[in-house]
Amino acid sequence: MSGNAWNVRKVEEGLLVNRGELFRLGTAILFIVLIMLFAMVRGPDGPSGTLLVMAAMIGGYMALNIGANDVANNVGPAVGSRAITLTGAILIAAVFEASGALVAGGDVVGTIKSGIIDPAMIGDTETFIWLMMAGLLAAALWLNFATAIGAPVSTTHSIVGGVLGAGVAAGGWGIADWGVVGKIAASWVISPVLGGVIAASFLYLIKRTITYQSDLLAAAQRMAPILIGVMAWAFSTYLMLKGLKKVFPVGFLTASVVGLIAAAIVWALMRKYVARVAPDLPNDKEGVNTLFTAPLICAAALLSFAHGANDVANAVGPLAGISDAVLQGDIAGKAPIPLWVMLVGAAGIALGLSLYGPKLIRTVGSEITELDKARAFCVALAAAITVILASQLGLPVSSTHIAVGGVFGVGFLREYLKVSYSRMIAEIRDHHRDADSDGETVDAFLERFEAASVQDKGDMLRKLKSGGTAGALDRSERKGLQKIQRIELVKRTLLLRIAAAWLITVPAAAMLSAMIFFMIRGALLP
């Protein structure tokens, strides 16, 4: 084979290996080109029309990155627990994200996200347009990078950093509302901690009331309808407060009452359903997990709907501001989002999820810690309850941080419980070490211990300890045991990578945005 033929063959093999990546890239480029053509038809002639076309293309690029990164948090736990396949999750999320954006996401959105900067301090309309364009592009580039390294980050924080950096570059340090920025920084801790604590609390409740009982299915028949009813209340309230505020805005009290009615209906229906299917299920954890499959699928759909209704503004809010400035020739603090702009955001989020979402879905669903359906249920429930709680307390939170914090929360709880259980087993063996050289007594005791409920386990340990002095494990043995369990259950390297990405999202997007704005000003602005 000649050298040229060999080179051609290697190129062909390389293209075959990377054809999936080439297809994704080509589809994304085609989407942006279609946006360009559509904006050219709708926009005015001249320089203003060119600005609108550029802004629309950047908004579409941002929407693709939101779909690739942020949406994974809504469906990742359901996929990781095998309640739904990856393909099914992508289809559900794409449909409900787009539906949420179009049905409930067209509210009047502040173009200056969360009051980050004061538009009155911007000198002219053209500077404002380039400022917003730089912020949008910087946020999209940062999200693209975070997706490439497998780090789920907050799209809200990305666009906040982008607008902040370009705003400071355009108007100086005094243009920013640093109080709002401080609240956003506080959410880096508040969001994951709240999500983790609430998710871990519900998982511990499930373990105490169901999986630690001797008759798991009997316990599940009592508790599962209650837990799913709580989920119905949380999601009904959450959707009315966040997802449907444009359709019919309501207060917390009204939303809670409607949520309680929905919870009562769901509880009654689930009691009948669980009573009917429970006799056919195995009396073990797998049988209990089966009861949470349908609620998990519903949770993924409802979270996606609410996310589409809220976070589409991250992609098209600045675009709406640019469009209004281009068409009206003035800077508006708020701008209604036109339907065509909403379509760009909805289609971009759905397409970005389909093309590039699987990587982050796997990260959230299976790489941080192992999730079964009960654990994933706790994560989804924590996401809704945390947003409700934070909104009533006035705390700034990120849906991304809440979901990922919930996954880490259930992982660390499992780790703690595993370590504690291993220590109990070690204590039991140590108690019998001298009295039972052949191990038959300790094996019999452990068999009874494994089958006992959590209350009976406590009684057995108390009786065991009252019978003599326990020999404790030394410090090095305890440390070694705990280290082994931690490595097995929660990936510390992934935790550090995600935490680092969270911490630098706002400053990284801000610096990138400032650089882009300075380049634009040096090249184009007077």
**pLDDT at position 8 over 80:** no
The reported pLDDT for the residue numbered 457 is: 65
Q: How confident is the model at residue 246 (pLDDT cuts 50, 70, 90)?
A: low
> At residue 450, what is the residue type?
E
Map tokens 């009206």 to a residue. 328
**pLDDT at position 480 over 60:** no
CA-closest candidate to residue 309, choices 242, 250, 257: 242
The reported pLDDT for the residue numbered 333 is: 55
The encoded tokens of residue 283 equal: 């009396």
The reported pLDDT for the residue numbered 445 is: 65
Instruction: Tell me 117's DSSP state.
Output: B
CB 115 within 8 A of CB 180: yes
Residues 127-146 have pLDDT tens digits of 888 888 899 899 999 999 99
Output phi, psi for 176, to 5 deg.
Answer: -90, 145
The reported pLDDT for the residue numbered 265 is: 95
**Residue, of 9 and 164, whose pLDDT is higher:** 164
CB 83 within 8 A of CB 295: no
135-149, 421-435, 474-488: which has the minimum mean pLDDT? 474-488
**pLDDT at position 514 over 90:** yes
**pLDDT at position 275 over 60:** yes
Percent pLDDT > 70 in the chain is: 76
Query: CA Rg, the chain, in Å?
Result: 27
Residues 390-417 have pLDDT tens digits of 877 777 677 788 888 999 999 999 888 8
The reported pLDDT for the residue numbered 22 is: 83
CB 229 within 8 A of CB 293: no
The reported pLDDT for the residue numbered 48 is: 74
The encoded tokens of residue 209 equal: 């009331």
Kindly report whether the global pTM for this prediction surpasses the value 0.75. Answer: yes
CB 183 within 8 A of CB 164: no
Instruction: Tell me 469's DSSP state.
Output: P
Distances (CA, A) of 6 to 15, 114, 161, 194, 424: 14, 58, 49, 58, 64
Separation of alpha carbons 143 and 201, rounded Å? 31
Non-local CB neighbours of 376 within 8 Å, separated by 6+ positions: 77, 78, 80, 81, 83, 292, 296, 365
The reported pLDDT for the residue numbered 484 is: 47
DSSP annotation string for 370-428: ---HHHHHHHHHHHHHHHHHHHHHT----HHHHHHHHHHHHHHHHHHHHHHHHHHHHHH
The reported pLDDT for the residue numbered 486 is: 46
The reported pLDDT for the residue numbered 331 is: 60
Mean pLDDT for all residues in the chain = 80
- Which uninterrupted H or E stretch holds 334? strand 334-335
Q: Which residues pair with 314 in a beta bridge?
A: none
**pLDDT at position 339 over 90:** no
Q: How confident is the model at residue 525 (pLDDT cuts 50, 70, 90)?
A: low
